[in-house]
Chains A and B, each alone.
Chain A
Amino acid sequence: MTELAGSAADRVGLAILLPFLGFLVNGAVAFLRPQAKRLVSVVGVGSVAAAFAVAVAVFLAVLGARPPAPYVHTLWTWIATGDLQVDLALQVDQLSVVMLLVVTGVSSLIHVFSIGYMRDDPGYARYFAYLNLFVAFMVVLVLGASFPVMFIGWEGVGLCSYLLIGFWFEEREKADAGLKAFLVNRIGDFGFLVAMFLIFSHTGTLEFRDVFARAPHALAGGTATAIALFLFMGCVGKSAQIPLYVWLPDAMAGPTPVSALIHAATMVTAGVYLVARCNVLFAMSPTACAVVAGVGALTALFAATIGLKQWDIKKVLAYSTVSQLGYMFVGVGVGAYAAGVFHLVTHAFFKALLFLGAGSVIHVLHRAYHHTHRHADAQDMRNMGGLAAYLPWTSRVMWVATLAIAGIPPLAGFFSKDEILGAAFARGAASPFYYLVWAFGLAAAFLTAFYMARLMLYTFHGPNRTGDLERPHLAEAPWVMTWPLVVLAGLTVLGGALNLPHVGTLHRWLEPVTEASAPYLPTLAPATGVEITLMVLAAAIGVGGIWLATRVLKPAALLTPERAPAETGFAKLLLEKYRVDELYRAVIVRPLVWLARVVLWKGVDAGVIDTAGVNGSAAVARGLGWIGSRLQTGQVGTYVVLFVVGAAAVLAALLRFGKP
């Protein structure tokens, strides 16, 4: 611990400062010289790449020191009032360093990709300003050494998410999507806040170190469950789990690199990070563990089924993200925190890759339609097909990512997903509920393989449906967009090596962070035979899903959206996403709007406050004034009479009561 003092860990704040300065510069450029794109690119990418360099330096320092306890670098005292003392402090430990590397590393690649993707957008400088700000807040989130500091980042990334979803706010539905994300996240943030209040009132501190040290004896069973569940409520909002997942598919309204960075690789995994960070609090409550794993498993399966029937390429990936986040919660729910974080990392690689690949496809299609001035949906897979011939690199790297997410060995997704499922199965021996979780996860894995193969087949194979006029304009995206894809593909291939079975590099790396929760959890080591069976089963499921997709789906028979027949039955229900949005609208939104409009506005505001309060007090004053004005007759005689009567009364009073 002492070894980290004086090392690069002391300058970890630069990882926040640099992107923030990038935000300030790019924000100023956006106002003053929006056309200075070269400057914006250099500042935008440079600041994040520099933050990545800082992250690497800090990682090397941690690697050398192997601190047994977190190293907290205090910048200054933020809040000091009564018993509450919160420092603006950054925490460097094994978990935060992993997150820091992933966040800054993936961000750098996506920033590079954005140079190509957003090149012709008039809001180029504004885009990079927001993206830099997001990185700054995300680093605050992962480095914060206390709940309030983490909450700054938590809210900050929510803000950037809102700004970037609604980046093209001239279109009403995109602005609305941003608003929806922001509002749905408020529900989760409410849970986070309540959890913070509970933690402070029971342990008297909000610093991670102190909370986790005091939690075992300061929190009774019920309190620990309540805290964990309220924290999880925050995670459900931020990480798009049932029932608050509805904002994430709509968030695809933002630019595609934003979807890759914020809504796949980093921000939405903040909930998983929070559970892993607070592993003691969750492990202390078996109920909370079961809820986390149960919600995760349910979400994984539920979202995967919706993904089966979407036509928008980004919507498929969005539901896939929701589903994969469910996996991560299964991992951290069953107590396999390293497995959850492992899947977070590998998912960041292959999902960022998938989104950027989709972005590349959309970019190319959009460009083609732009040439011919045709207004067709550049995101609808029915307008794609056969793109492998035109975008060979994109096709190849996306196949890598698809095989990874489907859990085909030896790609990264196989190891991380297998470890989660294995842990769930192992926990099932102690409480059979987790067998159900495992079964859900396995079913979702099959569906994942299927819908990803469907996406690939419809997008890259079969005949091209883009249009005869547009076809000559189809060509691979510029180099600046493809090389980040290749780097991510490399990470997707090699990422599994981070945590191979029985080697468990990441597992052992994270042990200083997760060991506090170990006494509360059953050991999760299935017999070797069972483990191998599970692995084979998981791989077979993945292969089976892809095989079934290639057998069942006929890309050649697909029709463009204008000519496609309407879906019927269950397929229609899936296409309409189980009508959950409509359900929420009917059950929550409309009653709330009714409450606001009829009761609060027409009733309380217009009725009580305006009529009784504002106009009522005015009426009382006017009435009193009217009574007073009756005395003002304008007749001097009346005044004199009153004056004489008053004087006589005063005189009489003096004579009667006055002292002699």
Chain B
Amino acid sequence: MLLGPSLLVSAILFSLGVVGVLLRRNAIVIFMCIELMLNAVNLTFVALSQRLGLDGQVFVFFVMTVAAAEAAVGLAIVIAVYRHRDTVNLQNINLLRG
């Protein structure tokens, strides 16, 4: 397998995720970008595991498990927020302002 291109793709995916989180306002989209970052990291784990042993692949399963749990909780929160405020635009959700 090609390590360099794999890591490059992973870095591009991660950067896309970061930029998405930074720039987008919709909670669902930001959530998807976070998932994108997690999967970029997964890709890195898998790519590097060919050099450094199977630990990375094992870790991927953990990340996927956590991501699944996070998706369940996160989406539930988004739905709850939407029910209360009729929007999921994060610019309008600023109750914690000091």
Contact = CB atoms under 8 A, between A and B. Distances in A.
Given A637-B90, A644-B18, A632 B25 contact: no
Contacts of B18: 644
Contact of A630 (B93, B96, B98): B98
Contact of A632 (B30, B90, B93, B97): B97
Interface in A623-644: 628-637, 640-641, 644
Nearest to A636: B90
Q: What is the interface residue range for chain B against chain A? A: 10 to 19
Contact of B98 (A631, A637, A640, A644): A631
Contact of A629 (B21, B91, B98): B98
A111 B21 CA distance: 96
Contacts of A640: 21-22
Contact of A637 (B22, B95, B96): B22
B91 A635 contact: yes
A635 B22 CA distance: 11
Contacts of B91: 635, 637
A644 B37 CA distance: 13
Contacts of B25: 637
A628 B25 CA distance: 25
A629 B96 CA distance: 10
Contact of A644 (B22, B30, B93): B22
A568 B66 CA distance: 105
Given A640-B22, A644-B18, A635 B90 contact: yes
A628 B22 contact: no
A64 B94 CA distance: 99
Contact of B95 (A628, A631, A634, A641): A634
Given A640-B21, A640-B22, A633 B97 contact: yes
A640 B33 CA distance: 13
Contacts of B22: 637, 640-641, 644
Nearest to B18: A644
A410 to B, nearest CB: 97
B90 A628 contact: no
A630 B95 CA distance: 14
B29 to A, nearest CB: 12
B63 to A, nearest CB: 17
Query: Which of A629, A636, A641 has the most chain B CB atoms closer than 10 A to its own CB?
Result: A636
Interface in B50-98: 90-91, 93-98
A636 B27 CA distance: 10
Contacts of B97: 632-635
A585 B22 CA distance: 78
A161 B63 CA distance: 85
Contacts of B93: 634, 636
A643 to B, nearest CB: 9
A248 B93 CA distance: 79
Nearest to A643: B21
Nearest to B30: A636
B94 A628 contact: no
A629 B21 CA distance: 23
A637 B18 CA distance: 11
Contacts of A641: 22
Contacts of A628: 98
Contact of A634 (B21, B30, B94): B94
Nearest to A640: B21
Contact of B94 (A629, A630, A631, A633): A633
A615 B21 CA distance: 44
Interface string A639-653: 011001000000000
Given A640-B21, A641-B22, A644-B18, A635 B94 contact: yes
Contacts of A637: 22, 25, 90-91
Nearest to A629: B98
Nearest to B97: A634
Nearest to A630: B98
Nearest to B23: A637
Contacts of B21: 640
Contacts of B98: 628-634
Interface of A: 628-637, 640-641, 644
Given A633-B94, A634-B98, A635-B97, 17 more contacts: A628-B98, A629-B98, A631-B98, A632-B96, A633-B98, A634-B94, A634-B96, A635-B90, A636-B30, A636-B90, A636-B93, A637-B22, A637-B91, A640-B21, A640-B22, A644-B18, A644-B22
28 contacts: A628-B98, A629-B98, A630-B98, A631-B98, A632-B96, A632-B97, A632-B98, A633-B94, A633-B98, A634-B93, A634-B94, A634-B95, A634-B96, A635-B90, A635-B91, A635-B94, A635-B97, A636-B30, A636-B90, A636-B93, A637-B22, A637-B25, A637-B90, A637-B91, A640-B21, A640-B22, A641-B22, A644-B18
Q: Please name the 3 residue pairs, one residue from A and one from B, whose CB atoms are nearest each other, closest first.
A: A629-B98, A634-B94, A634-B97
